[in-house]
């Protein structure tokens, strides 16, 4: 005698006390490392790499109008025995080389520290559209402090300037570096 088919058990998620399966939830957000880096994040990474080489931890990147990364560099003063090998100078030169032009119109220089007078003047010579920097530098800066290069009548190209971006992280990196050296 055939047995009556027993009714199929209810689907798992309808059983009392059953939890929704993870697969039915929205996908988990991707970890931060896999998200595209912002220019200041990338500059911070260059600064950290510079610190690991024993250089003052300053990093810089140059991006074009579309946000494409053209160059990234950290300080290489010690490695090159060159006090002018600041991150900004190296990144600007590399970006110009890549574009095959001594001018970088539409480009943004992003740097973890307020540029010194030399780098501020160089950014003007390279005709960058914008400078974004992290920490302010009352002692060595040349944009909002000291020489205030872009306010000088001798400066013929004045970029837009945005200071204080990720200021806390950028300043903490420098502070940590110099405290460790004492």
Binding site for Zn ion (CB under 5 A): 86, 116, 119
Among candidates 118, 143, 145, 134, which has minimal Cα distance to 172? 134
Task: Using only the alpha carbons of the chain, give its radius of gyration.
Answer: 25
Q: Alpha-carbon distance 170 to 48, whole Å?
A: 10
List CB contacts of 81: < 8 A, sequence separation 6 or more: none
Q: Minimum distance from CB of 149 to Zn ion (Å)? A: 11
Active-site choice (46, 76, 78, 88): 88
As a whole number of angstroms, the distance between CA 65 and CA 42 comes to 17
Nearer to Zn ion, 15 or 80 (CB): 80
Smallest separation, CB 109 to Zn ion (Å):
11
**CB closer to Zn ion, 2 vs 138:** 138
| CB atoms inside a 10 Å sphere around CB 140 | 13
- Strand segments (E) across the chain: 59-63, 69-74, 108-113, 130-135, 160-162
CB of 179 to Zn ion, least distance (A): 22
**167 catalytic, yes or no?**
no
Which residue's CB is nearer to Zn ion, number 17 or number 157? 157
User: CB 58 → Zn ion: shortest distance, Å?
Assistant: 8
**Residue nearer to Zn ion on the CB measure, 29 or 83:** 83
- Quick one: which of 77, 72, 75, 42 has its CA closest to 169? 42
| Cβ-closest position to Zn ion | 119
Quote the tokens at residue 150: 């872009």
Which active-site residues does the annotation give? Answer: 88
């Amino acid at each position: 005698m055939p047995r009556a088919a027993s009714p199929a058990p209810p689907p798992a998620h309808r059983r009392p006390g059953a939890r929704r399966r993870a697969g039915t939830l929205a996908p988990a957000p991707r970890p931060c490392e896999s998200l595209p880096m912002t220019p200041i994040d990338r500059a911070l990474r260059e600064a950290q790499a510079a610190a690991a080489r024993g250089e003052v931890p300053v990093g810089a990147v140059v991006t074009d109008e579309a946000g494409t990364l053209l160059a990234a560099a950290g300080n290489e003063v010690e490695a090159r025995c060159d006090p002018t090998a600041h991150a900004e100078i190296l990144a600007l030169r590399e970006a110009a080389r890549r574009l095959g032009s001594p001018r970088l119109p539409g480009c943004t220089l992003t740097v973890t520290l307020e540029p010194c007078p030399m780098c501020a003047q160089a950014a003007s010579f390279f005709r960058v559209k914008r400078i974004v920097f992290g920490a302010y530098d009352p002692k060595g800066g040349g944009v909002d402090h000291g020489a205030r290069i872009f306010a000088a009548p001798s400066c013929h190209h004045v970029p837009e300037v945005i200071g204080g971006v990720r200021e806390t992280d950028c300043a903490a990196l420098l502070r940590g570096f110099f405290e460790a050296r004492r």
